[in-house]
């Protein structure tokens, strides 16, 4: 009786794989999950996903490359030229991602903010150092996503609005957030923190390579969803300043907090009014009852 592995091998072995294809496919900078996702698109294996998932690691290197090649073929990358372009895209994207980091100047501004503007306690400073923040070594500081989120949260918590600003913001229309006036210290905090929210973009050259593949919408969507190719509509082009989006996001959050507090305050005031009205009515009833009692007593005495 044939094993599942031998049945898979019978399906895979006839698949074509040239030496040029094999060399290209070994340098695509794909994760194991991405390789498996593409391989699963191969027509000969599409209806054997469960068996493939259980036995994929047992396949030979040649069999895995044949499946990967067949999967790319199903996704529209049929010619050697198209696979060379795909390989070039993967190489260029990989290289560009190596530079997806804050500039040394941006890192220095963040460290300067932490050291001089935010009045860190020794405990807070120790906590940030344990998190990997290098206060005096900006050039070698690799800012992780976790650090970005924690530093952003920490910094924004230090950005306090004045009472006058709170009153102005509470009912301010969202389209006027852009021109909302900050003090210089507040602006410094926001400008220093803004790079932590910067969205990195791939180059226009990479986008032109992606477009040159002329992939069908469904195939392109698959590659985008598997994070094999960046989204052509959102992930390429010029990097915009992150200051204004962060300002709007901060003000939106603050306004929501202020409006919630105002509603709670208004509700409490309304409840107090209702309670006061109840007490007033009760006092009036007691006063009326007292007058009635006095009148009845006087009438009895007179008789």
Q: What is the pLDDT along the chain (303 residues), one digit of tens a residue?
A: 568 888 888 889 999 999 999 999 998 999 999 999 999 999 988 888 889 999 999 999 999 999 999 999 999 999 999 999 999 999 999 999 988 889 889 999 988 888 887 777 788 778 778 877 777 778 888 888 888 888 898 889 889 999 999 999 999 999 999 999 999 999 999 999 999 999 999 999 999 999 999 999 999 999 999 999 999 999 998 888 999 999 999 999 999 999 998 888 878 776 777 777 677 777 676 676 676 666 665 656 555
d(CA 234, CA 204): 12
In the chain, what are the domain boundaries? 4-100+203-225, 104-160+180-202
Cα(105)–Cα(138) distance, integer angstroms:
8
Q: How far apart are CA 29 and CA 46, in angstroms?
A: 24
Alpha helices (H) in the chain, listed in sequence order: 4-12, 19-25, 32-39, 49-55, 61-74, 80-97, 104-112, 122-130, 145-157, 163-170, 184-193, 204-212, 217-225, 243-302
**pTM of the prediction?**
0.71
- Please state, in angstroms and rounded to a whole number, the distance separating the CA atoms of residues 263 and 247: 24
Length of the chain as a residue count: 303
CB 66 within 8 A of CB 15: yes
54 contacts 4 by C-beta, under 8 angstroms:
yes
pLDDT at 131: 77
Give the SS3 label for residue 22. helix
What is the Cα Rg of the chain in Å?
A: 34
According to DSSP, the residues that pair with 202 across neighbouring strands are: 236
Longest dimension (CA), the chain: 128
- Residue 273: exposure state from Cβ atoms within 10 A (0-12, 13-18, ≥19): exposed
CA torsion sign for 64, 65, 69, 72 is positive
Q: What is the distance in angstroms between the CA of the first residue and the CA of the last residue of the chain?
A: 121
| Model pLDDT, residue 302 | 59
Whether 155 contacts 193, CB under 8 Å? yes
CB 9 within 8 A of CB 63: yes
Do 80 and 21 contact (CB within 8 A), yes or no?
A: yes
């Amino acid at each position: 009786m044939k094993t599942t592995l031998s049945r898979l091998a019978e399906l895979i072995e006839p698949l074509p794989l040239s030496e040029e294809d094999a060399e290209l496919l070994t340098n695509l900078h794909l994760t194991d999950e991405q390789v498996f996702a593409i391989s699963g698109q191969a027509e000969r294996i599409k209806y054997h996903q469960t068996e493939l998932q259980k036995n994929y690691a047992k396949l030979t290197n040649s069999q895995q490359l044949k499946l990967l090649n067949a999967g790319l073929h199903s996704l529209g990358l049929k010619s050697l030229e198209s696979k060379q372009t795909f390989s070039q895209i993967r190489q260029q994207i990989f290289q560009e991602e190596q530079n997806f980091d804050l500039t040394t100047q941006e890192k220095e501004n963040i460290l300067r903010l932490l050291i001089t503007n935010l009045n860190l306690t020794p405990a807070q400073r120790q906590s940030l150092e344990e998190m990997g923040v290098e206060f005096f070594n900006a050039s070698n500081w690799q800012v992780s996503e976790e650090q970005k989120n924690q530093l952003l949260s920490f910094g924004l918590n230090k950005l306090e609005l004045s009472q006058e600003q709170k009153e102005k913001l509470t009912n301010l229309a969202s389209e006027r957030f852009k021109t909302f006036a900050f003090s210089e210290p507040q602006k410094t905090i926001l400008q220093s923190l803004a790079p932590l929210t910067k969205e990195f973009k791939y180059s226009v050259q990479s986008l032109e390579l992606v477009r040159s593949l002329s992939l069908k919408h469904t195939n392109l969507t698959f590659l985008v969803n598997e994070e094999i190719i960046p989204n052509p509509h959102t992930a390429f082009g010029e990097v915009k300043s992150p200051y204004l989006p962060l300002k709007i996001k901060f003000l939106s959050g603050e306004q929501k907090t202020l409006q919630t507090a105002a509603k709670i305050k208004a509700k409490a005031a309304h409840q107090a009014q209702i309670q006061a009205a109840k007490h007033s009515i009760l006092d009036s009833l007691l006063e009326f009852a007292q007058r009635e009692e006095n009148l009845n007593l006087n009438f009895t005495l007179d008789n």
